[in-house]
Amino acid sequence: MKKLLTGNEVIVQAALASGALGYAGYPITPATEIMTEWDKAFVKDKNLRFLQTEDEMSAGFVTIGMIMGGIKAFTATAGPGNTLMQDPLTMAENMRIPMVVIIAQRGGPSTGSVIYSQQEVILSGWGGNSEGYRVVYSPSNIQELYDYTIKAFNTAWTHMFPTIVLTDGYVVKTRQSVDIYQPKKLVKSHPLVVKSYERNADKELDYQNLSNTFVTEEQSYEVNMDLMNAFKKMTPKVVESEVYQKGNYKTLIIVHGLVAGAAKEAVDMKGKEKKFGLFRPITLNPFPINELKKAARGVKQIIVAESAHNQLQKLVKEALYGEHINIKQYGRPGLGITPEELIKLVK
């Protein structure tokens, strides 16, 4: 079914299609309409749960509470709210809570711009006092926003790690025609405080105590090693990327999110003539390191283009450490990037 919707409306439609029943949040531009759209759904369907909290930190912890009780729940925020969200996100990492968070990036510093940037990549993937054991999807358009919001719920509840959909103010405020469909496969939720989820007449439910406090440094070490191993084991199952090219390429442009649309248009316009292609990480965490190395094999130069100064570039340089490839950056904090700009960069 095709519907004309904004990105924020699409997120709510996707959450409902994913079987989400709960939302806790605090209004913040450009993500406020996610909360107001959920409120409209809540008024019509009393099976849903909704709470407007006093801040984003509370929103995160209320969301965790709903999830521990067995409800598929999510929250959304942006900018300074994302900073506050790092405390509950860190707790969700350490306790393996499948919390879904929508981040609509906006420009810094501090309150900064309230509409657009790609300056929350590092914060979203590795913020807080933990190691970044969370999945971060970066959709490039409104249709993908629907697709990857659904995927985020399935990923979170399959692998029991918090999962983020990293979007921005341009995408969530734009209105486009979107294919709204019912997912073929949904991962069911269950109460995390219960070990056994099947009730029968002969057996009582087996409850478990979940703790977010480490008694000793040794316990912290053990838990973190378990998290590291579980995340590493999960990585091949969730990591995603895209290579887009016309013919052979000697220059590789690397972008993510909204900028990928401009990069694809640039490849279509001049990619074959100027011999450049596109690599796009869809999961920023875990980052598609092996896929990038394969795409970069034999290229003369790499251009990292982002609406930030040094977010995506950090991930690319870390992934390609030791590779002898000339890496150039085109950083435009808070500004969009056009196909013509990208074509001009290729020499």
Instruction: Identify the pLDDT of residue 172.
Output: 97
Q: Give the residue-averaged pLDDT of 64-77.
A: 97
87-91, 171-175, 321-325, 340-344: least confidently modelled range:
321-325
Instruction: Identify the pLDDT of residue 193.
Output: 84
Instruction: Identify the pLDDT of residue 212.
Output: 86
Instruction: Identify the pLDDT of residue 145.
Output: 98
* Distance between CA atoms of residues 81 and 25, nearest Å: 10
Strand partners, 200: 203
Q: Give the residue-averaged pLDDT of 324-342.
A: 96
- The residue ranges of every structural domain in the chain are 2-179, 242-345
17-21, 86-90, 162-166, 320-324: least confidently modelled range:
320-324
Strand partners, 165: 102, 137
Q: Give the residue-averaged pLDDT of 186-197.
A: 84
Instruction: Identify the pLDDT of residue 209.
Output: 80
* Distance between CA atoms of residues 5 and 13, nearest Å: 10
Kindly report, residue by residue over 285-331, the tens digit of the pLDDT: 999 999 999 999 999 999 999 999 999 999 999 999 999 999 999 99
What's the order of all strands across the beta sheet hosting 276-281? Answer: 241-244, 276-281, 251-254, 301-306, 326-331
End-to-end CA distance of the chain: give it in Å, rounded. Answer: 44
* Distance between CA atoms of residues 79 and 168, nearest Å: 10
Q: Give the residue-averaged pLDDT of 39-59.
A: 97
Six-digit token string for 33 = 């309409």
Instruction: Identify the pLDDT of residue 310.
Output: 94
Percentage of the chain beyond pLDDT 90 is 90
Domain 2-179: which CATH class? alpha beta
Instruction: Identify the pLDDT of residue 108.
Output: 87
Instruction: Identify the pLDDT of residue 184.
Output: 93
Residue whose C-alpha is closest to residue 189's, from 149, 151, 157: 157
* Distance between CA atoms of residues 207 and 235, nearest Å: 30
Tally the C-alpha atoms within 13 A of residue 22's C-alpha that lie toward its C-beta.
21
Kindly report, residue by residue over 198-254, the tens digit of the pLDDT: 555 556 667 778 888 888 999 999 999 999 999 999 999 999 999 998 888 999 999
- The reply to whether 242-345 shares the fold of 2-179 is yes
Instruction: Identify the pLDDT of residue 226.
Output: 96
Residue whose C-alpha is closest to residue 46's, from 11, 21, 18, 69: 21
* Distance between CA atoms of residues 254 and 284, nearest Å: 12
Residue whose C-alpha is closest to residue 39's, from 86, 80, 76, 84: 76
Residue pair 284/260 in contact (Cβ under 8 Å)? The answer is: no
β-pairing verdict for 251-254 and 73-77: unpaired
Q: Which residues contact 190 (CB under 8 A, 6 or more apart)?
A: 70, 197
Instruction: Identify the pLDDT of residue 200.
Output: 53
Instruction: Identify the pLDDT of residue 208.
Output: 78
* Distance between CA atoms of residues 287 and 270, nearest Å: 28
Which CATH number is associated with domain 242-345? 3.40.50.920
Q: Give the residue-averaged pLDDT of 63-86.
A: 97
Q: Which residues contact 73 (CB under 8 A, 6 or more apart)?
A: 20, 21, 22, 23, 24, 49, 63, 66, 67, 99, 100
